[in-house]
Chains A and B, each alone.
Chain A
């Protein structure tokens, strides 16, 4: 689809990016947001736009392992990077089944989602945080507050999201011991 216009926004770039472990090549207008490129050019609609000004965190993805608001990043900025979206948090087991990340399991177990719209942003953020810590060390309340504190949810009142954090950390602790 051509998006060239009289206003000079026609410049396009080809971006090479690894998304959820799969190398991708996508040609996008330079002004295209990463959130839009993921959703509309790559069909990964699990990443949601909630405010498009970087406050709510619904669109959070991991860029080279770091939680990033994809509505504040241009697609061209992730050229050469590895992006993980909510679709990439789970992994395949040896039988071709799907093994969820502990935080995904915990969200279901703890009723940490209602409408589910903000959920992918919480999952990517928390998964990155949990993966980066020593699983053998019990999680503290300060850590939990830090992991959930940057994203907005209008449904749950956050209590069950915090509970899911603790639950997932405990599952990871048990798995590590």
Chain B
């Protein structure tokens, strides 16, 4: 019997090449390519007065210099608004090269192409741009004040006013026995993959065809964008995502200017051109996320049950809204998490600032929403004198309330309906995992060592696996090899392994025979992309459906050959056999050969499929009407709507009252992503997410100064956690299958990061007895808080994230 693969910790297939240095990342491709480098705006808001390229022209090895003036047709138009939404009333996007005004530091103004990157940088450094500085807007407070406008035709700096409502919140608040209101801040961080972005383009003049490699999460859509912008027919453009060194959201944004400019240069120069982003470029020109100011009003009864919740969020969307208002929608629709909030209103004002644009970073608005909800729960617990677990238990959606319809619209444009869940189960498991009742003993023990110990927790619900669809193609070759292709891309999540598990399970072949290709438009042209924890849900189900189609065809062909009923056949270890009749079998690879009637025998296997190989049924054509040659099948999975994963995290911190250093000594996760295809990979996703959650809570922030200069645009100053900063994570699982998809799975990619700041803020508050209302928090900020008289952190360290 074929080894069971679904649910097993199958070791990753991609690792074999990656551990010996044989991965193929963007900069590993095209060793003979010309190199592009960019002159970027040194100002956050400034008008281009003059560009003098004459200095660069003396550089030997320079090949081309491009400015906005060199762009024609669609390339000279603004970049697309990728996700139009009726509430995005004032969408603004930049140009591939600055036309006349730069709106953030780092915006590309001039592209230089030279024989190698060193020379390209030499030339770029000799280009003189004369600027006229304009007033700068940094931070949500300055954007709201609107003393200055980022875009002159949007004087209030508001790109969108997003609104979600359930019931009459003002009446419900007025009728509530108790109310609370407060304001919180959440700072910017960024995806910060270890590999930045990069683009390589090769123009084949003989075929008039373009092949582009990009370190992207959305190769099919990059392809469509390149074709549209460069006025090429779609079939003349191929886009391939090679091995990608992490994404976490920043590479779902597209087309980045470089994804259009590098192909343009390759066509114009008739030569391969490559651009590989350096770390500083990544900091100042690739997307960030997370800054919000959150104004919360909540009503609740004597038992701590919430009766109404009203949230007004000021969301910093940076200089442009290429990716629309997905992040604000996620905050607004995911904020309530696992709780039964009868009356709810969320208003999110998405505002422009002179900073790098904001697009989803793992979690994508959910960490901020969770911060609102969970900090609200903690406040209610304190006000009512309740245990923090107890107040949550009283507010949870109960198991008999599914499907739970919020009456709102989710980020995929579909109804916000929780499909399934067991939220009380999460709390029970977390309580045991972290030994919540034993915390007072631990606090006392820590005190003997001079440490302040505190614990916090946070829960979340995450909409995963949104549509519109993904597809897959599965084909069995005459060699027995099984090819699986999906257009969705991979950035380290282990898709090659998980999709191979699904195909091998469905088809009854050894996993070693399966070869998976993702993100290559040459192999599969219809796809949406990797985001919103959707790969396993949407592509996973598509792979299973396509493999099922191949299986059915194989059984039909084999049934004729074995003179059996297809229902009596099974496929095991690559052999199609009559159940219970040893010997009555045919290898799947032979079925593949015979599925394609041949005239020409190019090898021994093919001979079996030729016209004179054996007696055929002369009354039928070799390929039946409606049938097709080959043992292959393409299918798609298009979800009705998103499926909702959930979890509960707890953090235990120890704080040194001499230095106010915050040490996360325990981190516990209970996670429910439905049926698990590969628990090893899911745990890896959770652990990685937790590390990003800890980073976002304690270390990472984008420190813009008042002039819009990013003060910490390097790994020396932007503090990403090393191993020494990341706690061990205790993980427990709960599996509540999704009723929405055939495999019963929910997404797992983002879960680990979502409740990090909320849980750690709660733990710090518990340890020090002072309100934490802004995250991240550094030891210095905690020290300042403890010295102050104020009960809360009233604001960010400054409006800009750095001390004034």
Interfacial residues, chain A to chain B (CB-CB below 8 A): 1-7, 9, 29, 31-32, 39-40, 43-53, 55-56, 58, 85-87, 89-90, 98, 100, 104, 107-109, 111, 113-120, 123, 145, 148-162
**Size range of the chain B interface in the assembly:** 35 or more
**Nearest Cβ in chain B — how far from A113, in angstroms?**
6
A152 contacts B715, C-beta separation under 8 Å: yes
A-B pairs with lowest CB-CB distance, top 8: A46-B21, A115-B492, A117-B245, A116-B18, A157-B691, A114-B492, A55-B715, A157-B687
B19 contacts A123, C-beta separation under 8 Å: yes
**Nearest Cβ in chain B — how far from A96, in angstroms?**
15
From B27, B58, B684, A114 is in contact (CB under 8 Å) with: B684
B31 contacts A113, C-beta separation under 8 Å: no
- Whether a CB of chain A sits under 8 angstroms from the CB of B688 is yes
Question: Using Cβ atoms and an 8 Å threshold, which residues of chain A touch B689?
Answer: 157
> Could you tell me which residues of chain B, from 240 to 256, have a CB within 8 Å of some CB in chain A?
243-246, 248
From B20, B115, B690, A46 is in contact (CB under 8 Å) with: B20
Q: List 29 A-B contacts (CB under 8 A).
A: A6-B60, A9-B118, A45-B21, A52-B278, A53-B715, A85-B21, A86-B19, A86-B20, A86-B21, A87-B20, A87-B21, A89-B20, A108-B12, A115-B245, A116-B243, A117-B23, A117-B492, A118-B194, A119-B18, A145-B723, A154-B193, A154-B194, A156-B687, A156-B688, A157-B687, A157-B726, A157-B752, A158-B691, A158-B723
Cα A49 to Cα B278 with chains together (Å): 9
B715 contacts A5, C-beta separation under 8 Å: no
Question: Using Cβ atoms and an 8 Å threshold, which residues of chain A touch B493?
Answer: 114
Question: Using Cβ atoms and an 8 Å threshold, which residues of chain B touch A150?
Answer: 722
- Whether a CB of chain A sits under 8 angstroms from the CB of B207 is no
- The interface bits of chain B over 716-729 (1 if a CB of A lies within 8 angstroms of the residue's CB, else 0) are 10001011101011
Cα A111 to Cα B31 with chains together (Å): 31
A114 contacts B118, C-beta separation under 8 Å: no
B690 contacts A113, C-beta separation under 8 Å: no
Cα A48 to Cα B28 with chains together (Å): 9
Question: Using Cβ atoms and an 8 Å threshold, which residues of chain B touch A86?
Answer: 19-21
Once A6-B58, A114-B494, A123-B19 are accepted as A-B contacts, the answer to whether A51 and B715 lie under 8 Å apart by CB is: yes
Question: Using Cβ atoms and an 8 Å threshold, which residues of chain B touch A46?
Answer: 20-23
From B16, B31, B61, B491, A115 is in contact (CB under 8 Å) with: B491
A154 contacts B192, C-beta separation under 8 Å: yes
B118 contacts A50, C-beta separation under 8 Å: no
B122 contacts A5, C-beta separation under 8 Å: yes
Residue of B nearest to A7 (CB): B122
B27 contacts A39, C-beta separation under 8 Å: yes
B492 contacts A104, C-beta separation under 8 Å: no
B687 contacts A159, C-beta separation under 8 Å: yes
- Whether a CB of chain A sits under 8 angstroms from the CB of B513 is no
Cα A116 to Cα B27 with chains together (Å): 14
A5 contacts B194, C-beta separation under 8 Å: no
Residue of A nearest to B717 (CB): A55
B687 contacts A104, C-beta separation under 8 Å: no
Once A5-B61, A51-B279 are accepted as A-B contacts, the answer to whether A155 and B726 lie under 8 Å apart by CB is: no
Question: Using Cβ atoms and an 8 Å threshold, which residues of chain A touch B21?
Answer: 44-47, 85-87, 120
Cα A53 to Cα B717 with chains together (Å): 11
Question: Using Cβ atoms and an 8 Å threshold, which residues of chain B touch A5?
Answer: 59-61, 119, 122
Cα A31 to Cα B728 with chains together (Å): 42
Question: Using Cβ atoms and an 8 Å threshold, which residues of chain A touch B22?
Answer: 46, 87
Residue of B nearest to A10 (CB): B60
Cα A6 to Cα B23 with chains together (Å): 37
A32 contacts B11, C-beta separation under 8 Å: no
- Whether a CB of chain A sits under 8 angstroms from the CB of B100 is no
Q: Count chain B CB atoms within 10 A of each CB in A46, A47, A51, A114 and give the residue with the most.
A: A114
List 14 additional A-B contacts (Cβ < 8 Å) besides A43-B31, A53-B714, A58-B194: A5-B59, A40-B31, A46-B22, A48-B245, A85-B21, A107-B15, A107-B19, A108-B11, A111-B12, A116-B14, A117-B245, A154-B194, A155-B684, A155-B688
B194 contacts A115, C-beta separation under 8 Å: yes
Cα A90 to Cα B119 with chains together (Å): 36
Cα A49 to Cα B245 with chains together (Å): 11
A108 contacts B118, C-beta separation under 8 Å: no
Question: Using Cβ atoms and an 8 Å threshold, which residues of chain A touch B116?
Answer: 1, 3, 40
From A6, A50, A153, A157, B279 is in contact (CB under 8 Å) with: A50
Once A1-B115, A46-B23, A117-B193 are accepted as A-B contacts, the answer to whether A53 and B58 lie under 8 Å apart by CB is: no
Question: Using Cβ atoms and an 8 Å threshold, which residues of chain B touch A9?
Answer: 118, 122
A51 contacts B714, C-beta separation under 8 Å: yes
- Whether a CB of chain A sits under 8 angstroms from the CB of B458 is no
From A2, A100, A151, B61 is in contact (CB under 8 Å) with: A2
Once A6-B60, A117-B194 are accepted as A-B contacts, the answer to whether A155 and B716 lie under 8 Å apart by CB is: no
Cα A89 to Cα B115 with chains together (Å): 32
